[in-house]
């Protein structure tokens, strides 16, 4: 029956299958293990996470035939994978020679076992032992189903008895392409996956932007300005990641980041992480300037820090990119705070500062009970949008 009540499926009872299943699972492969009668006995965590989508674990029909009706019904509920009849037919056409060879009753028995949508394919199959599907002497079949590489590895125990088959797949992209796509910090990739399913998530918000970017862009060559922007964004992302945050959109010279309470451990920890990342980036600016052949005071950043109690945070993935984003009034307010923080200030809202507990505040050199705030509308640097949209938000400079 379909099972999804545990994080990882139990290892198969057969020792030979259990050893392979554990190895595949520990190595993070996409893989399913079936026994000698093609009953599903294991699916790796990564396979289940990928097929489930949005942070869900796909449910496999453990104990049922891999191409039977119970397995077909289970796959229909997945987000990704062999979710359609067409994909299941393509998969059976690819590895069906093994399935037929392992069915004692031959074609007649296999027809009875298969889901009705697959039964007409039986007459097109040839047992793997006679069709030359063996990839090497160890009994490995290499196939491709709808552009997805798949390898079926025969599993035998010490006596040579066939115990089952491991079906291992990978993305259609080559490993070089995959490596370049995930060349970023694995900590951040894991955090981004944790918000694959969008939802309400209290978080600290950080907006940062380069002040006086237009004069710099005119002064520097296009290539030099591009290099500056790349160094700045890389430095910002690293500071956010090191502090435990999630990098959001990059717009021009601007950076957006979120520090989730559920990731940091508490609202206080999230607020502290936001301020820590801000100060780290402010300190990193000098190195960016030096590498760009500029004086340290040539690069000035504005920072806006705010608390979002009702943020709706999620990961938006398309065929071209993947990014973390958030919706909520507090996001727009954070942008208004940042626009007012000219002169290299880091303006943090009262709602963020008062999330800090005693220990986190002390670690930052702050005392929330003795802070004097200023409303945005009262700042000499207040923008028209700030006066219009967030005049009463109280802020304090936490740059130092």
> Tens digit of pLDDT for each residue in 290-324?
999 998 888 999 999 999 999 999 888 776 677 88
In the chain, pLDDT over 90 holds for what percent of residues?
69
Residue 271 confidence (pLDDT) above 60? yes
- Enter the DSSP assignment of 65: B
The predicted model gives 316-338 an average pLDDT of 87
120 has a pLDDT exceeding 50: yes
Average pLDDT of the chain?
88
Helix (H) or strand (E) holding 349: strand 346-349
Strands 346-349 and 300-308: parallel
% residues pLDDT > 70 (the chain): 89
User: What mean pLDDT comes out for the span 353-357?
Assistant: 96
| Three-state secondary-structure class, residue 59 | coil
Q: Is the pLDDT of residue 343 over 80?
A: yes
Sign of CA dihedral 286, 290, 296, 301: negative
Confidence at residue 136, expressed as pLDDT on a 0 to 100 scale: 32
* Structural domains in the chain plus CATH codes: 2-176 (no CATH), 184-397 (3.30.70.1230)
Q: How confident is the model at residue 277 (pLDDT cuts 50, 70, 90)?
A: very high
pLDDT in tens, 210-231: 998 888 889 999 999 999 999 9
Q: Give the pairing type, strands 300-308 and 394-397.
A: unpaired
Radius of gyration of the chain (CA): 28
Q: Confidence class of residue 174 from pLDDT cuts 50, 70 and 90?
A: low
Contacts 24+ apart (CB under 8 A), 147-155: 147/172, 148/172, 150/91, 150/94, 150/95, 152/95, 152/98, 153/20, 154/98, 155/16, 155/17, 155/20, 155/33
Structure token digits, residue 217: 């862009």
Give mean pLDDT, residues 232-250. 92
For residue 77, pLDDT beyond 50: yes
- pLDDT of res. 187: 81
When pLDDT is averaged across residues 156-175 and rounded to a whole number, the result is 85
Give the pLDDT of residue 249: 84
User: Do 289 and 178 meet the contact criterion of CB atoms below 8 Å apart?
Assistant: no
Band the pLDDT of 1: cuts 50, 70, 90.
very low
pLDDT of residue 147: 59
Q: What value does the mean pLDDT take over residues 272-277?
A: 98
Contact between 373 and 305 under an 8 Å Cβ cutoff? The reply is no
Q: Is the pLDDT of residue 36 over 80?
A: yes
| Residue for token pair 């449910």 | 59
pLDDT at residue 170, rounded to an integer: 80
Task: Please say if the pLDDT value at position 128 is more than 90.
Answer: no
145 pLDDT higher than 70: no
| Cα(257)–Cα(240) distance, integer angstroms | 7
Check residue 319 and give its pLDDT.
Answer: 67
| Per-residue model confidence (pLDDT) at position 139 | 39
Average pLDDT over residues 69-98: 91
pLDDT in tens, 196-211: 788 999 999 999 999 9
């Amino acid at each position: 029956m379909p099972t999804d009540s545990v994080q990882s499926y139990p290892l198969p009872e057969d020792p030979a299958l259990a050893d392979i299943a554990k190895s595949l699972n520990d190595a993070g492969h996409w893989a399913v293990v079936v026994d000698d009668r093609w009953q599903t006995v294991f699916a790796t965590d990564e396979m289940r996470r990928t097929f489930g989508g949005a942070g869900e674990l796909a449910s496999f029909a453990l104990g049922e035939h891999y191409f039977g009706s119970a397995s077909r019904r289970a796959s229909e509920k997945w987000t990704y994978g062999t979710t359609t009849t067409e994909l299941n037919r393509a998969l059976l056409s690819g590895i069906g020679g093994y399935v037929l060879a392992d069915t004692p009753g031959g074609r007649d028995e296999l027809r009875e076992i298969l889901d009705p949508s697959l039964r007409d394919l039986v007459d097109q199959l040839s047992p793997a032992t006679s069709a030359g599907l063996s990839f090497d002497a160890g009994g490995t079949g290499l196939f491709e189903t709808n552009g997805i590489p798949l390898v079926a590895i025969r599993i035998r125990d010490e006596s040579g008895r066939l115990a089952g088959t491991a079906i291992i797949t990978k993305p259609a992209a080559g490993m070089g392409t995959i490596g370049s796509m995930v060349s970023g910090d694995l900590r951040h990739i894991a955090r981004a996956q944790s918000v694959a399913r969008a939802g309400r998530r209290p978080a600290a918000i950080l907006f940062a932007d380069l002040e006086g970017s237009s004069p710099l862009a005119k002064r520097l060559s296009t290539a030099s300005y591009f290099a500056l922007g790349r160094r700045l964004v890389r430095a910002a992302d690293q500071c956010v990641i090191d502090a435990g945050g999630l990098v959001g959109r990059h717009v021009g010279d601007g950076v957006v980041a979120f520090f989730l309470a559920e990731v940091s451990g508490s609202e206080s920890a999230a607020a502290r992480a936001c301020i820590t990342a801000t100060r780290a980036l402010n300190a990193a600016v000098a190195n960016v300037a030096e590498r760009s052949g500029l004086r340290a005071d040539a690069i000035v950043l504005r920072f806006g820090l705010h608390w979002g109690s009702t943020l709706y945070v999620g990961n938006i993935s398309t065929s071209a990119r993947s990014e973390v984003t958030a919706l909520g009034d507090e996001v727009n307010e954070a942008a208004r705070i940042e626009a007012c923080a000219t002169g290299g200030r880091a303006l943090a809202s009262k709602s963020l500062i008062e999330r800090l507990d005693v220990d986190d505040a002390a670690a930052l050199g702050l005392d929330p009970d003795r802070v004097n705030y200023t409303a945005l509308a009262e700042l000499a640097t207040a923008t028209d949008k700030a006066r219009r949209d967030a005049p009463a938000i109280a802020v304090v400079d936490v740059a130092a």
